[in-house]
Structure 1
Amino acid sequence: MSKAKQIERILERRIRHGDYLLKELPAERELAEEIGVSRMTARKAVQFLVKKGLLQRQPNGRLVVSREAETRLLHVAFLVPSLVSSDVEQWRLALDRLAEKFNMVTRTILYVHWDDPVLLDAAEGLDGMFLIPNCEPMPDRIMERLRTAGRSLVILGQDMSTLGLPSINLFPAVVVQQLLDHLAELGHRHIDCFNVQTVDPVVRARIDQWNLWRASHRMAGRVLGEPIEPYEQPLMSAYKQMGKILDEGKLQGTGLLCLTAPAAIGAARAMADRNIQVGKDISVCVINDEGLARFMTPSLTSIETPDPTPYLSVCLDWLSGSNDQWVGSLLLEPSRLPLFVGSSTGPAPTSNLSAAKDRDHADTK
């Protein structure tokens, strides 16, 4: 493949992924220096893309994505907090799968805090936005700026429909009761709740559902764990916190509901390090497995992650249509989700964890 052809492919890929939605295209000289080719080679590649209709040259000589190419594409921002998450990847891949169907360019944009300038840059420069809120409450002024920017905004992973924003919530808090019903059927009567995540509306709603179910079924249980600060590492914190809880004998339940995947993974590792058999000595389950449940040892009982594609398609139909008015409920969420029963849950043991630890200690003598 010629060097000019390589540059053509690079630029086409960048245009397709929205790399130049919020910044200018580099000049031919800058492009040549970046890729390590002659300016003549860079110019040859650019001229081909101009002829193809993807680029056009302005009177001042600057290159821009052609208006014809821009008008036939739906430009969408995917705004995500600056942290690693399997959830974020699932949303991104679903949007990528829908790109061709909706003739869409999606640009993933990381933001660190609510006053990050990239949020408002995206609001001003694109056709629509899919936003995953971070753990901190969104200030009213930011909410108002995003709502009045003239761009359509969809919230992912939280319910902000009461604020007039279309929202997709794949894990409504009520699914907590599916997990708790499963543990109750196995004979568990004391089910603790473990959380290390910053208490945002999602975490709060899950704790409320656990409390509601526990009260209505007259079950024992306590909330365990200390919420971390935003952007701290939840997995390591879950491991350390559960280790301390176990060492101090504070885990009294035979069942443990974990509110997030890092909480469940960290807790299970801390238990394994202390010869506590998950699924036998204690049952552990989690609401959102982030696609990991089947691949863990032991496999983790969880609510399975639903396919976000149908819900995103509804929103993209709205974004790409000529009618600005949303039709129907602003909240899109499943009413019930599949339960994956892994080996991390089993019949309630006849003795509590302290007795199991004493037994194991005696067996090693």
Structure 2
Amino acid sequence: MLTIKEIAERANVSRTTVSRVLNNSGYVSGEARERVMKVIEETGYVPSENAKSLRTKKTRVIGAILPKISTETSSRLVKGMDDILAKEGYQILLANSNLKPEKEIEYVRLLKSRHVDGIILSATNINSGLTGEIKRLNMPFVAVGQHIPELASVIFDDYQAARDMASLFIKKGHKRIAFIGVDEKDRAVGHCRKLGYVDAMEEHQLPIEEGWVQKGEFNMESGYHCMKAILEESKTMPTGLLAVTDRLAIGAMQYLKGQGLSVPKDMAVAGMGASELSRFITPSLTTIDFSVEDAGREAARLLLGYINGESYHEKPQVVHHRLLERESI
């Protein structure tokens, strides 16, 4: 394989000039740059990534730990990250925690051992083991979707989004609104979204009857069974349902349809997340767009800043959301 010394000899320039052209650093005259680029094009020279890493002490690789790599939210997040990182010559190494906190800790250690330049973590919940490991490893790090005190975070306003959605139900005249959530160990989706619903109901002095609130998992089947439980356990039939994810909402809609109930005539339904499927089911699903791509871009920008020596932002960066009112309410 051609060396920098050989390129310098063929282009009749110094090795320093070749290095500056390859790394796009330092002054090089236009004529010298053209000679170097001509040799590179003619020979098909590709610089060794290992050699570059040794010189710059950077691998140009970012680790991304995702809760479920197959979900639409994860793909949108990675797309946003890649929009920024690719322009700076970075590649993304993906790890799938499969919603298991212990896997998140394992992957943080693994990515550190692979000498990635930094890590972006989309965490399911935050625990002392995870935060302790991140601080111990002392490397550029950004969390997305959950706030980690003393570390950089990009978050959504989950509380206000759920409160906005519950308020829409109330504005439309609904006074009996059921809720499907998830485990509150997931602070953002489980705790904050439930709190937004509860506070909206309390603000308007509306009751939350026994049976109206159910806890599910992150899938449609769970939404189906939670809706079944709401109808079987409630003394009073609710007229509206707020689910913390679109998948839960769509599963609930399928159960209602199977019972011969109409959405939204018999039960208004809303989800959260603005999944692609939410636009195409019948009726189309009212939902919250959390601008996940923007969160990915912001996380990537922050991480690149930390890699380049900027100080950490201890205050979390909040990404905006939009309420998309459709046919299901």
TM-score band, normalised by shorter chain: 0.7 to 0.9
The one-letter code matched in structure 2 to 1:126 is V
Q: Which residue pairs with 1:34 in the alignment?
A: none
Q: Which residue pairs with 2:154 in the alignment?
A: 168
Corresponding residue SS for 2:257: helix
Q: Deviations over 1:186-207 (max 9, x none)?
A: 1111212112456421211111
Q: CA shift at 1:79, angstroms? A: 0.8
Corresponding residue SS for 1:79: strand
1:159 to 125, 143, 147: 147
The one-letter code matched in structure 1 to 2:198 is N
1:147 to 127, 135, 139: 135
1:341 to 312, 325, 329: 325
Q: CA shift at 1:158, angstroms? A: 1.1
User: Which has the larger helix fraction?
Assistant: 2
Q: Cα–Cα, structure 1 residues 194 and 111, in superposed 2: closer, same or farther, change >3 Å?
A: closer
Q: Which residue pairs with 2:278 in the alignment?
A: 293
1:266 aligns to 2:251 (yes or no): yes
1:130 aligns to 2:117 (yes or no): no
Greater RCO (CA < 8 Å, at least 6 residues apart): 2
The one-letter code matched in structure 2 to 1:121 is L
The runs of 5 or more residues in structure 2 that have no matched partner are 1-42
The runs of 5 or more residues in structure 1 that have no matched partner are 1-47, 56-63, 346-365
Corresponding residue SS for 2:137: coil
Q: Which residue pairs with 2:227 in the alignment?
A: 242
1:215 to 202, 207, 212: 202
Query: Distance between the aligned counterparts of 2:130 and 2:268, measured in 1?
Result: 42
Q: CA shift at 1:70, angstroms? A: 6.5
Q: CA shift at 1:292, angstroms? A: 3.3
Q: Which residue pairs with 2:97 in the alignment?
A: 111
Contact 1:75 1:104 in 2 (8 A): yes
Q: Deviations over 1:204-250 (max 9, x none)?
A: 1111121111111111234422345xxxx632122123224335555
Corresponding residue SS for 1:292: helix
Q: CA shift at 1:77, angstroms? A: 0.5
1:315 to 302, 306, 324: 302
Using the aligned pairs only, state the percent identity: 18
User: Which is further off, 119-128 or 89-98?
Assistant: 119-128
Query: Distance between the aligned counterparts of 2:79 and 2:326, measured in 1?
Result: 26
Instruction: Tell me how many residue pairs correspond in the alignment.
Output: 278
Query: Distance between the aligned counterparts of 1:234 and 1:196, measured in 2?
Result: 10
User: Which is further off, 297-306 or 105-114?
Assistant: 105-114
Contact 2:59 2:117 in 1 (8 A): no
Q: Which residue pairs with 2:48 in the alignment?
A: 54
Q: Cα–Cα, structure 1 residues 84 and 150, in superposed 2: closer, same or farther, change >3 Å?
A: same
Q: Which residue pairs with 1:226 in the alignment?
A: 215
Contact 2:58 2:117 in 1 (8 A): no
User: Which is further off, 241-250 or 203-212?
Assistant: 241-250
Contact 2:163 2:193 in 1 (8 A): no
Q: Which residue pairs with 1:42 in the alignment?
A: none
Corresponding residue SS for 1:253: coil
Q: Which residue pairs with 1:75 in the alignment?
A: 61
Contact 1:196 1:237 in 2 (8 A): no
Query: Distance between the aligned counterparts of 1:107 and 1:249, measured in 2?
Result: 47
1:183 aligns to 2:172 (yes or no): no
1:195 aligns to 2:185 (yes or no): no
The one-letter code matched in structure 2 to 1:268 is M
Contact 1:73 1:103 in 2 (8 A): no
The one-letter code matched in structure 2 to 1:211 is V
Q: CA shift at 1:256, angstroms? A: 1.0
Query: Distance between the aligned counterparts of 2:101 and 2:168, measured in 1?
Result: 39
**What RMSD over aligned residues (CA atoms) do the two structures have, in Å?**
2.7
Q: CA shift at 1:69, angstroms? A: 8.3
Contact 1:255 1:284 in 2 (8 A): yes
Query: Distance between the aligned counterparts of 1:225 and 1:288, measured in 2?
Result: 19
